[in-house]
Amino acid sequence: MTRSRNTSPSRAISSPSGSDFLQLTIDDAPPRGRCEWLTEQLRLAIADGRLPIGATLPATRTLAADLRVSRGVVTEAYQRLVEDGHVAGHGRGGTTVVAAPIGTRPPRATPRAVRPSNPFTGPPEADVFDAVRAAPARIDLTPGVPDLAAFPRAAWMRAERAVLDGLSAADFGYGDPRGAPALRAEVATWLARNRGIRVEPAEVVIVAGVAQALALFARVFRDQGIDRIAVEDPSSLGARQHLNHWGLTTPPIAVDSAGLDVEELRASGAPAALLTPAHQFPTGVVLDGERRRELLRWAEEGGVIVEDDYDAEHRYGRAPVPALRSRYAERICYAGSVSKWLAPALRIGWLLAPPEYFDAVVSAKRFTDLGSPVLAQLVLAHLMRSGEMERQLRFVRTRHRRRRDAMAAAIAEHLPGAVVHGVAAGLHLTVTWDTGPDDVELAEAALASGVKVQPLSWHRQRPGPPGLVLGYGARTPTDIADAVATLGALR
């Protein structure tokens, strides 16, 4: 008995002849017009932006195999697009899109609430730092960024190879939401040696930077009835934004030359407080001994402290002061990261939570992301264990000190009369003035001249002297001198 080709079992159960590329299915093409059909599908994809200018098309042999057609069909379709001027062949470099059909791209919907290219238009909103990072500038003096050119690429690659060579297949599965045990052990050792904190590895939680630590603490506080967390004034606008996003209000507490005004904190009635005691952002002051004692008494009376150990590694005149957490663990939540001495792009940090909050913090981390990516944690643990991170910190500290000196000298020359804050440590200097231009207007004018800075008023909740926050970690001394000279001319 003769069976029809269309009803054969093998034909009935076979999948369509298709490709992941643009979700093309050759079964949609007419039997005698496959080349024309493929050409039109590619032309439409270029027109509507699915294949943007610069995109590389699959190799003709690869696409032909995926679609189960002759290579000649794909080669001819590509040639027609070349003749139209839409793609160009580059030999072994492949075939790339070089132009879109004129007048065929449909209008795209404009996202709502698109921030203008000038980040200084209006008060800073939730996406202001995204806008600042995206704004082009000749010299970027954004604070909080280390010398990114000093990232230990060779050491990282060697460590990555060593880690991968030692992993079993099971190691690529899901891990502990608290983080890789190897990194938690190294962080515990690091904190004991560098910050005076004695902690067991099981008490360390690895997070995606201090930003995630603040988010986790905020969620736990809110769930336990804490809806206010006092902050230093001035303090990081970004940190306040994170806390506000999770439903906490952030009443301001004044900062003076000795640090946070603990009496004002006590009078505010806030049940919790966020501090940067090792190097206050943005003023650079260190919480002095008497204020530390007052703050710990406040915590013993029931207050909760969140310690952001900001810039603790970057002391230039002497060793950093011990962390508050080293003195009183029961009421202090602690957060630190590698962002200021390796790179923010790693998104690796750690937190310590008092026993009262620990399980809730781990639960919040679990249901946020099941734990931070493990491979980068294992590489960092390898580098910490080998001593490479100690060497890296000594290396970048020397480079940062030279850049600090260059900025201080440039300020003295080009911004006479400005008061400089925070020279002893960190990756930025803050300058203030009693009379002169509005700091937002000056930052806007600086950006127009190719220099990116942050106005101090962004980080204030109360009125205060205008100023600028000037990062020096990521720029060369020559760039720093050039940028400050530009600010002096504008001021």
- The per-residue pLDDT for range 163-173, each reduced to its tens digit, is 999 999 999 99
Cα–Cα distances (Å) from 145 to 141, 310, 311, 454, in that order, read 9, 12, 10, 13
Q: Give the model's pLDDT for residue 454.
A: 97
At residue 287, φ and ψ (nearest 5 deg) are: -60, 120
Detail the DSSP E strand segments found in 73-134.
87-89, 95-97
Alpha carbon distance 284, 257 (integer Å): 9
By CB atoms closer than 10 A (0-12, 13-18, 19+), residue 127 is middle
Q: Give the model's pLDDT for residue 31.
A: 80
Alpha carbon distance 481, 147 (integer Å): 16
Domain regions of the chain by residue span: 17-97, 128-149+391-490, 153-386
pLDDT band at 224 (very low <50, low <70, confident <90, very high): very high
DSSP state at residue 425: B
Alpha carbon distance 310, 425 (integer Å): 11
Which two three-digit tokens encode residue 348? 């690796």
Alpha carbon distance 183, 6 (integer Å): 60
Are the C-beta atoms of residues 354 and 332 closer than 8 Å to each other? Answer: yes
**Nearest to 378, CA basis, from 204, 222, 179, 221:** 179
Are the C-beta atoms of residues 362 and 205 closer than 8 Å to each other? Answer: yes
**Nearest to 315, CA basis, from 352, 349, 340, 351:** 340
The pLDDT of residue 186 is above 70? yes
Are the C-beta atoms of residues 27 and 15 closer than 8 Å to each other? Answer: no
Angle of the 60-67 helix axis to the 71-84 helix axis, nearest 10: 130
190 three-state secondary structure: helix
Q: Hey, what CATH topology would domain 128-149+391-490 get?
A: Aspartate Aminotransferase, domain 1 (3.90.1150)
Q: Give the model's pLDDT for residue 11.
A: 34
The H-or-E segment that residue 360 falls in is: helix 355-369
- Our CA angle for 309, 349, 354, nearest 5°, is 65
Q: Hey, what CATH topology would domain 17-97 get?
A: Arc Repressor Mutant, subunit A (1.10.10)
Say what the pTM is.
0.85
Tokens 């160009």 appear where? 88
Alpha carbon distance 373, 209 (integer Å): 12
Alpha carbon distance 135, 314 (integer Å): 28
**Nearest to 52, CA basis, from 17, 16, 100:** 100
Query: How many CA atoms, within 13 angstroms, populate the side-chain half-sphere of residue 313?
Result: 24
Q: What is the mean pLDDT of residues 436-449?
A: 95
Q: Which of 117-126, 296-305, 348-357, 460-469 has the lowest mean pLDDT?
A: 117-126
Q: What is the mean pLDDT of residues 358-375?
A: 97
Angle of the 209-223 helix axis to the 237-245 helix axis, nearest 10: 40
Alpha carbon distance 221, 230 (integer Å): 13
* 3-class SS letters over 224-293: CCCCECEEEECCCHHHHHHHHHCCCECCEEEEECCEECHHHHHHHCCCEEEECCCCCCCCCCCCCHHHHH
Q: What is the mean pLDDT of residues 10-21?
A: 56
Give Dmax (Cα) for the chain. 102
Q: What is the mean pLDDT of residues 296-325?
A: 91
pLDDT band at 151 (very low <50, low <70, confident <90, very high): very high
| Percentage with pLDDT > 90 across the chain | 83
pLDDT band at 2 (very low <50, low <70, confident <90, very high): very low
Alpha carbon distance 400, 404 (integer Å): 6
pLDDT band at 1 (very low <50, low <70, confident <90, very high): very low
Are the C-beta atoms of residues 474 and 140 closer than 8 Å to each other? Answer: yes
Q: Give the model's pLDDT for residue 43.
A: 92
Q: Give the model's pLDDT for residue 477.
A: 96
By CB atoms closer than 10 A (0-12, 13-18, 19+), residue 1 is exposed
Which two three-digit tokens encode residue 183? 């990194």
**Nearest to 210, CA basis, from 309, 139, 96:** 309
Neighbours of 293 (CB within 10 A): 12
Contacts for 442 with CB less than 8 Å, ≥ 6 apart = 455, 466, 468, 487, 490, 491
The pLDDT of residue 99 is above 90? no
The pLDDT of residue 115 is above 60? no
Are the C-beta atoms of residues 237 and 130 closer than 8 Å to each other? Answer: no
**Is domain 153-386 in CATH 3.40.640.10, yes or no?**
yes
Q: What is the mean pLDDT of residues 53-67?
A: 93
Q: Give the model's pLDDT for residue 92.
A: 81
Alpha carbon distance 219, 264 (integer Å): 25
The side-by-side arrangement of strands in the sheet containing 428-432 is 419-421, 428-432, 467-471, 454-455
The pLDDT of residue 150 is above 60? yes
Alpha carbon distance 229, 270 (integer Å): 6
At residue 96, φ and ψ (nearest 5 deg) are: -120, 155
Q: Which of 46-50, 337-341, 387-391 has the lowest mean pLDDT?
A: 46-50
415 three-state secondary structure: coil
Q: Give the model's pLDDT for residue 118.
A: 81
Alpha carbon distance 404, 421 (integer Å): 12
pLDDT in tens, 242-262: 999 999 999 999 999 999 999
